[in-house]
Chain A
Amino acid sequence: MEILAILIPVSLFLGGIGLLAFFWAMRTKQFDDPEGDAARILTKEWDDRPKPSGDAPPSTAPPRRGRGEE
């Protein structure tokens, strides 16, 4: 039964990490558009590197081809 002294804190710790990850996701507004995010993985734009954020003019360059296409 001594193993409990290790296992219970470990399980709570892991759960706590999950909870913190959830808080982080909430605060960065990742649940604002679940349907859109699900659909976006299918588009070929910004497939090989992340989209530059902020003021940079987006996608004025031709869309980049995905690796999966060759």
Chain B
Amino acid sequence: MTVAEDIGRVTVTACPACVVAPSAERIAAQRVVPDARLMLSLPLAHCAACISTVEGSLAAVPGVRSARVNLTRKRVSVEAAPEVTAAALIAVLARQGQEAHELDPGLLSATETDRQGRDLLMRLGVAFFAMMNVMLLSVAVWSGAEDATRDLFHWISGAIALPTVIFAGRPFFVSAWAALRVGRLGMDVPISLALILASAISVYETAMSGYHAYFDAAVMLAFGQLLGRYLDHRTRAIARSAAEELAALEVPRAIVLVDGAEVETAIAEVQPGAVVLVRPGARMPVDGVVIRGASELDRSLLTGESVPVPTGEGMAVSAGEVNLTGPLTVRVTAAGKDSSLHRMADLVAIAEGAKTRYTSLADRAAALYSPLVHILSFGAFGYWMWATEGDLRFAINISAAVLIITCPCALGLAVPAVITSASGKLFRRGLLIKHGTALERLAEVDTVVFDKTGTLTMGVPEPVGLDRHGAEVLAVAAALAAGSSHPLARALAEGVRALRIEPAQVEAIREVPGLGIEGLWQGAPVRLGRDMWCGAVALPATATYLALAGATHAFVFTDRPRPGAAEAVAALRAQGMRIELLSGDAEAPVRELAQRLGIADWQAGVLPEAKAARVAALSGEGRRVLMVGDGLNDTAALAAAHVSISPASALDAARVASDIVLLGQDMAPIADAVRIGRQSARRMVENFQISALYNVVAVPIALVGLATPLAAALAMSLSSITVALNAMRLK
């Protein structure tokens, strides 16, 4: 495969997760393996009972060999015979009240063995062991060990501390070196310098039988900073794995008709002019014109329209639409890079570039702090060289003490401790923080823009007022509806089943693509489908019609609001947010939903570009926008917004473009997220203030040369504990 084709494949799928998603070859290779490994995400699992329910019900499924829940990551891994499908397991779990989503097995090997995390944890453990032992010896020195005893204790401390500093400090040395080579001062440069200076000076002092050795401070510093680094890493690893493994929705392959034969071809290799077959239920792989067949298309993920659109010969179709009722033969007008799906992805790439310019609180603190520390330390060195007329040992001692004391673990813990605490709380409510600065950005939000279909609503039609119809009418309608996979028909069949009405005996059921379903009931023809076809008068709402014994009956549908949508909107308004609803759907359903949720600012029929433009205009007014959306038509707006949330059912491109993923069905946690985001930003600032306060007290003591290892140890441990406790105050 050439590079150009590779790029084509990558860009069609439009997101990093899909780039690493398993190629068809790898999927094929997995089929050879006798045991399939399936991974499901369980957003609602939270307790011991959930573990037994999930593991027990999965193990009862024939073909499942073992099922193991990981509660920390809220997922279950299943070893099963190859014929067991994820969809079947999800259905089993749904009956137990456990919501589940499939995760992409191709990415499992990458995240399950989280090498970097394990490596950091190993270094953390070593640093902890060393810290405890060195501290034991240091306490003896502080409480008055003298002469030979003190020297012996210092030597033993050194023997423990030096290898530890080299091993545990490696991540800092590596990243400090990388920063220095490109001429920057990150947080890691002062940390590395403090580690090296503290160890070197302590070795020298010990060799000279000096009073003070900073071995304990060096090891403690390494431990504290590693702890911050590890917490940071863990938050990100959990979020990344869960967000990106949600299985890809896009079709990587298309069925191309070559001289009447069906050939499966990668989308990147489909040329304009080729003829493609799209079966009912499949997603349109390319842009094109229908040359044969009639059907209906579900365009909700592209445009936000909740009602399927009829299509037939000569009509244009776009990549990403779902073909609902009949097979379509399509002549390709644009594939791969030129398709509308990809043009949308380009918009996302542009907006993503703009977002990376946000500087986090931690970066701003480091930019302020790093030069200051170095100036103070070198200033102290220069002054004491001059004041003591060249006492090198004393001057270096002071400057090392300044570095060690200004480099408290509290600074490294200030942000990770808060993020760990906050994202743990949000994870338990079913929200996944994908981006490290998402919480800080969430705290600044003053405007919330919602999408309608699939976000505020479930994107699934629901029949209303079924009980107004007679049982016989419902029984016939249900029998006909069962013969189709059209969303309205499925919803109708489901609705009638919920009323405990048995479907009637209808014979010769036949689906007429694009029109409806017909059959024979008690010898007379019956039809369920479009208004004209059934001879009914169209209602100004989403509806399907039944022609039965000379009369027509209309079944009206509504798009059910997502659970918690009303609560979320109300809570956000109570927090003083401006709320807007931008939908690509028709005016009537948008107006109805806006009124039901009490949203005054709403627009219907909004194009994707217009959504992004509206978000940009709001940002231009100085507003900070939180965008909540799920479709491809929202993707550009999601990326353009200050911070964005998408539900787990969203298209991959939308999930990748957003900072936070809503794992469950319930929408109410969004209001919590904003509240917790605000609290966390406040805690982070407080944490920086706490560490600054310790410095204001401790630095003058170090500068005048009164700092002892005991003072450094006290300052460090006290400030770290205060910062960690402050982070845990989050509610």
Contacts and interface: CB of A to CB of B under 8 A. Distances in A.
Pair from one complex: yes
B678 interface: no
B65 A55 contact: yes
Contact of A39 (B51, B118, B126, B137): B51
Contacts of A18: 129
B65 A36 contact: no
A11 B156 CA distance: 12
Given A15-B132, A43-B48, A59-B59, A32 B70 contact: yes
Nearest to A19: B129
Nearest to A32: B70
Contacts of A15: 129, 132-133
Interface in A36-70: 36, 39-45, 55, 57-60, 63
Contacts of B136: 11
B149 A43 contact: no
Interface string B107-139: 000000000001001100110010011001100
A44 to B, nearest CB: 8
A43 B54 CA distance: 12
For the residues of B in contact with A, the DSSP-based class is helix
B55 A36 contact: no
Contacts of B72: 32-36
B390 interface: no
Q: Please classify how large the interface on chain A is, using the bins under 10, 10 to 19, 20 to 34, 35 or more.
A: 20 to 34
A23 B123 CA distance: 10
A33 B70 contact: yes
Contact of A26 (B55, B121, B152): B121
A44 B643 CA distance: 44
B125 A35 contact: no
Contacts of B118: 26
Given A15-B132, A15-B133, A39 B47 contact: yes
A2 to B, nearest CB: 12
B675 interface: no
A19 B65 CA distance: 36
B71 A23 contact: no
B526 interface: no
Contacts of A1: 149
A6 interface: no
Given A1-B149, A12-B133, A15-B133, A57 B56 contact: no
Contacts of B60: 60
Contact of B69 (A22, A26, A36, A63): A36
A58 B51 contact: no
A22 B125 contact: yes
B73 interface: yes
Interface string B72-101: 110000000000000000000000000000
Contact of B129 (A4, A22, A59): A22
A19 B167 CA distance: 14
B156 A59 contact: no
A43 to B, nearest CB: 5
A-B pairs with the 7 shortest C-beta distances?
A36-B71, A42-B48, A39-B48, A35-B71, A33-B70, A35-B72, A19-B129
Interface of B: 47-48, 51-52, 55-56, 59-60, 65-67, 69-73, 118, 121-122, 125-126, 129, 132-133, 136-137, 149, 152, 156, 160
Given A36-B70, A41-B48, 12 more contacts: A1-B149, A15-B133, A19-B125, A19-B126, A23-B125, A26-B122, A33-B73, A36-B51, A36-B69, A44-B52, A45-B52, A55-B65
